[in-house]
Each structure stands twice: as C-alpha cells, then as structure tokens.
Amino acid sequence: MIFNANHLCDIQRRYRKRQLTYTSGTGTPVVGQTVVGATSGKTAVVSRVGTGYIVVKDLSGSLTTSETIRIGTTPTFTFTATLSAQADYQNSEGEYEHYWYAEQSGVRCRLFYSSARLVIVVSGAVADKPLRVALPTTITMTPQTAEEYKIVTTEAQYTGTYTVERLDTLPGMLAGIDHFEATLREA
C-alpha cells in the first residue's frame, strides 16, 4: 500500500481509432452516435463518416467481421450495415489517428514533487523537481508502454493532465513490488 495515498487520479490510455468498412448500408451514420454489433454486443462511438466506412473510437471490445452493425433502437434503426472489414484508421497522410480513453478512474494515488535535486534543462528552462505520482500495484499500466498513458487529476495544486514519461516499479522491504512511481510532464 502506498504511504499517504490521499489523492485521486484517472489513468487514460491512448488507442488507435478503427475504420469499419461495411456493405449493404441503409440510413446515414452521424458523428457522435453509438454503433452496436448485433452479434457481439460491442459498442463504439462514430468519429468520422466516409463512403462505405465509418471511423470509430471508444470501442468496448472486438466487433465480429460479417456481423450486422446498427445505430438506434429496435425497431427504428437509423443505420444498419454488414461489417465487411476493420483496421486501424490512417488519415490521408498515412498517419494513425488516436484517442484517449479513461480506462481507470478514481485511482488512489499520491502526487508529489521529487525530493531529488535532479536538474532537467529543456529549451533553456530549468525544472529541478519533476512532478511524480505513486500508484498502487493494482493498476494496469506497464513500464514498456508508459508514454501511452496520461494521468488526469483535479487535486488542488496538481490539477491538470500529465503525460507519463517513465514508470518505475519500486520494491518493498520483502523485495516484492510495493508500488509504481511515474515521472510526469504537462500534456
């Protein structure tokens, strides 16, 4: 257990948007609507509409190719189609588009400025005490993917959104992992 974990934060993770290509479409999908897989029951939010495809975010799980996708409620669906393919969405420049999703909310944590006198020089500015956060071992964040995460908090003095630059595992007295500590920078 983290000593003095008296703050709360949300952990956001970066995901790629997905392109759902469809056939036999009826109706018109609209940005912001929720699409549902008729077989899988999985949902996603429409973020872009193209000819024969939609781009989605906030996917609740894997849709099944060949299943019917729908928007609306029975019996008056505003859009139905057969999902023919799905892939990570790339824009016209070939870049993947991403979105941030708060996958862990209300996490007990401890935000603090490092007591180490570490000096970081960036573009002529000097910051001698980077913001850090202590997190419990129950979180699902791994050191290999630290830059894929953000910490969001409304705690006084720390309010803001921060990119996780580095995640360290810290052993306890019995050599097991006691908690994680992440170095943050403003997003």
In tens, the pLDDT along 37-61 reads: 999 999 999 999 999 999 999 999 8
- Cβ proximity of 110 and 3 under 8 Å: yes
Are 92 and 106 in a shared domain?
A: no
Does residue 160 belong to any structural domain of this protein?
Answer: yes
Are 111 and 181 in a shared domain?
A: yes
Are 130 and 175 in a shared domain?
A: yes
How far is residue 59's CA from residue 110's CA, in Å, rounded to a whole number? 30
Question: Tell me: the pLDDT tens digits for 133-184?
Answer: 999 988 988 766 778 999 999 999 999 999 999 888 887 656 666 788 999 9
The candidate with the shortest Cα–Cα distance to 135, out of 112, 119, 156, is: 112
How far is residue 56's CA from residue 33's CA, in Å, rounded to a whole number? 10
pLDDT at residue 117 tops 50: no
Mean pLDDT of the chain: 88
Are 108 and 182 in a shared domain?
A: yes
Does residue 1 belong to any structural domain of this protein?
Answer: no
Are 111 and 182 in a shared domain?
A: yes
CATH classification of the domain holding 122: 2.40.10
pLDDT at 3: 60
Are 78 and 113 in a shared domain?
A: no
Q: Which of 44, 79, 96 is the last residue of a domain?
A: 96
Are 107 and 180 in a shared domain?
A: yes
Work out the percent of the chain whose per-residue pLDDT is above 70.
86
Does residue 61 belong to any structural domain of this protein?
Answer: yes
Tell me what the mean pLDDT of segment 63-87 comes to: 94
Q: How many domains does the chain contain in total?
A: 2
Q: What is the DSSP letter of 77?
A: E
Does residue 149 belong to any structural domain of this protein?
Answer: yes
Are 131 and 83 in a shared domain?
A: no
Tell me what the mean pLDDT of segment 104-108 comes to: 95
Work out the percent of the chain whose per-residue pLDDT is above 90.
68
Q: Is the pTM of this model over 0.85?
A: no
Strand stretches in the chain, DSSP E: 7-16, 18-27, 34-37, 43-50, 53-57, 68-73, 76-88, 98-113, 120-122, 125-127, 131-135, 149-153, 160-171, 177-186
User: Domain containing 128: what range?
Assistant: 7-13+101-186
Are 44 and 67 in a shared domain?
A: yes
Does residue 59 belong to any structural domain of this protein?
Answer: yes
Are 62 and 123 in a shared domain?
A: no
Are 82 and 131 in a shared domain?
A: no
Q: Which of 96, 116, 137 is the last residue of a domain?
A: 96
Backbone angles phi, psi at 28, to 5 degrees: -130, 120
Are 90 and 110 in a shared domain?
A: no
